[in-house]
Chain A
Amino acid sequence: MGSFLHRHRSLTPYLLLAPGMLWLAIFFLVPMVFLGYQSLQSGLFPHFQFTWEFSNFSSALSGYHTQLVRSFVYAGIATLACLVLAYPLAYWIAFRAGPWRNLFLLFIVAPFFVTYLVRTLAWLNILADQGPVVRVLRDVHVLGPDGRLLATTFAVVAGITYNFFPFMALPLYVSLEQIDPRLLEASKDLYASSTQSFLRVTVPHSMPGIVAGTLLTFIPAAGDFINAALLGTPNQAMIGNVIQAKFLESLDYPTAASLSFILMGTIMVMLLI
Chain B
Amino acid sequence: MAVESRERPDRGQTPGQTPNETVDVRLDHVTKSFDDVVAVDDVSLEIPHGSFFALLGPSGCGKTTTLRMIGGFEEPTDGAIYLGEEPVTGRPPYKRDVNTVFQSYALFPHLSILENIAFGLRRRGVRGKEVRGRVLDILRLVGLEGLERRKPRQLSGGQQQRVALARALVNKPRVLLLDEPLGALDLKLRKQMQLELKAIQHDVGITFIHVTHDQEEAMTMADRIAVMNQGHVEQLGPPDELYERPASAFVAGFLGVSNLLSGVVEDPDGVRLADGTLVQAQVDGKRGPVAAGVRPEKITLGESGGQNRLPGTIAETAYIGVATQFVVDTPAGTVHVFAQNIDSGKRIPVPGSNVTLSWSPESTFVVERGEEMSE
Interface residues of A (CB under 8 A from B): 180, 182-183, 185-193, 196, 200-201, 204-205
> In the complex, which residues of chain A have a beta carbon less than 8 angstroms from the beta carbon of B98?
189
Interface residues of B (CB under 8 A from A): 71-73, 92-94, 98-100, 102, 104, 106-108, 110, 119-120, 123-124, 167-168, 171
19 contacts between A and B (CB under 8 A): A180-B104, A182-B106, A185-B106, A186-B102, A186-B107, A187-B108, A187-B119, A188-B73, A188-B92, A189-B71, A189-B73, A189-B168, A190-B99, A190-B120, A191-B94, A191-B171, A193-B92, A193-B94, A201-B108
With beta carbons under 8 angstroms apart, the residue of B71, B106, B107, B123 that contacts A191 is B123
Q: Are A188 and B108 in contact (CB under 8 A)?
A: no
Chain A nearest CB, measured from B108 CB (Å): 6
Chain A nearest CB, measured from B201 CB (Å): 19
Chain A nearest CB, measured from B362 CB (Å): 46
Q: Say whether, besides A185-B73, A186-B100, A192 and B94 are in contact (CB < 8 Å).
A: yes
Q: How distant is the Cα of A200 from the Cα of B106 in the complex, in angstroms?
A: 14
Q: How distant is the Cα of A196 from the Cα of B93 in the complex, in angstroms?
A: 13
Q: How distant is the Cα of A183 from the Cα of B32 in the complex, in angstroms?
A: 24
Q: Say whether, besides A187-B119, A190-B120, A192-B119, A204 and B106 are in contact (CB < 8 Å).
A: no
Q: Say whether, besides A188-B94, A189-B93, A204 and B119 are in contact (CB < 8 Å).
A: no
Chain B nearest CB, measured from A99 CB (Å): 15
Q: How distant is the Cα of A196 from the Cα of B125 in the complex, in angstroms?
A: 13
Q: Are B102 and A185 in contact (CB under 8 A)?
A: yes
Q: Are A182 and B123 in contact (CB under 8 A)?
A: no
Q: How distant is the Cα of A182 from the Cα of B71 in the complex, in angstroms?
A: 13
Which residue of chain B lies nearest to A193 when distances are taken between CB atoms in the complex? B94
State the majority secondary structure of interface residues on A: helix
> In the complex, which residues of chain A have a beta carbon less than 8 angstroms from the beta carbon of B107?
186
> In the complex, which residues of chain A have a beta carbon less than 8 angstroms from the beta carbon of B92?
188, 193
Q: Are B124 and A191 in contact (CB under 8 A)?
A: yes
Q: How distant is the Cα of A205 from the Cα of B108 in the complex, in angstroms?
A: 10
Chain A nearest CB, measured from B172 CB (Å): 12
With beta carbons under 8 angstroms apart, the residue of A186, A191, A193, A196 that contacts B108 is A186
Most chain A CB within 10 A, of B104, B107, B108, is at B108
> In the complex, which residues of chain B have a beta carbon less than 8 angstroms from the beta carbon of A182?
102, 104, 106
Q: Are A192 and B123 in contact (CB under 8 A)?
A: yes
> In the complex, which residues of chain A have a beta carbon less than 8 angstroms from the beta carbon of B106?
180, 182-183, 185-186
Q: How distant is the Cα of A125 from the Cα of B86 in the complex, in angstroms?
A: 62
Chain A nearest CB, measured from B88 CB (Å): 14
Q: How distant is the Cα of A257 from the Cα of B120 in the complex, in angstroms?
A: 56
* Chain A to chain B: the 4 pairs with minimum beta-carbon distance, closest first: A190-B120, A186-B106, A191-B123, A188-B93
> In the complex, which residues of chain B have a beta carbon less than 8 angstroms from the beta carbon of A187?
108, 119
> In the complex, which residues of chain B have a beta carbon less than 8 angstroms from the beta carbon of A186?
100, 102, 106-108
With beta carbons under 8 angstroms apart, the residue of B73, B94, B100, B110 that contacts A205 is B110
- Given A186-B107, A189-B71, A190-B99, 15 extra CB contacts under 8 A: A180-B104, A182-B104, A183-B106, A183-B108, A185-B73, A189-B73, A189-B93, A189-B99, A189-B100, A191-B123, A191-B124, A192-B123, A193-B92, A200-B119, A204-B110
Q: How distant is the Cα of A16 from the Cα of B123 in the complex, in angstroms?
A: 50
> In the complex, which residues of chain B have a beta carbon less than 8 angstroms from the beta carbon of A189?
71, 73, 93-94, 98-100, 168
Most chain B CB within 10 A, of A191, A193, A201, is at A191
Most chain A CB within 10 A, of B94, B100, B104, B168, is at B94
Q: How distant is the Cα of A186 from the Cα of B177 in the complex, in angstroms?
A: 12
Q: How distant is the Cα of A191 from the Cα of B106 in the complex, in angstroms?
A: 15
Q: How distant is the Cα of A191 from the Cα of B126 in the complex, in angstroms?
A: 12
Chain B nearest CB, measured from A257 CB (Å): 43
Which residue of chain A lies nearest to B95 when distances are taken between CB atoms in the complex? A191
Q: How distant is the Cα of A201 from the Cα of B123 in the complex, in angstroms?
A: 13
> In the complex, which residues of chain A have a beta carbon less than 8 angstroms from the beta carbon of B108?
183, 186-187, 201
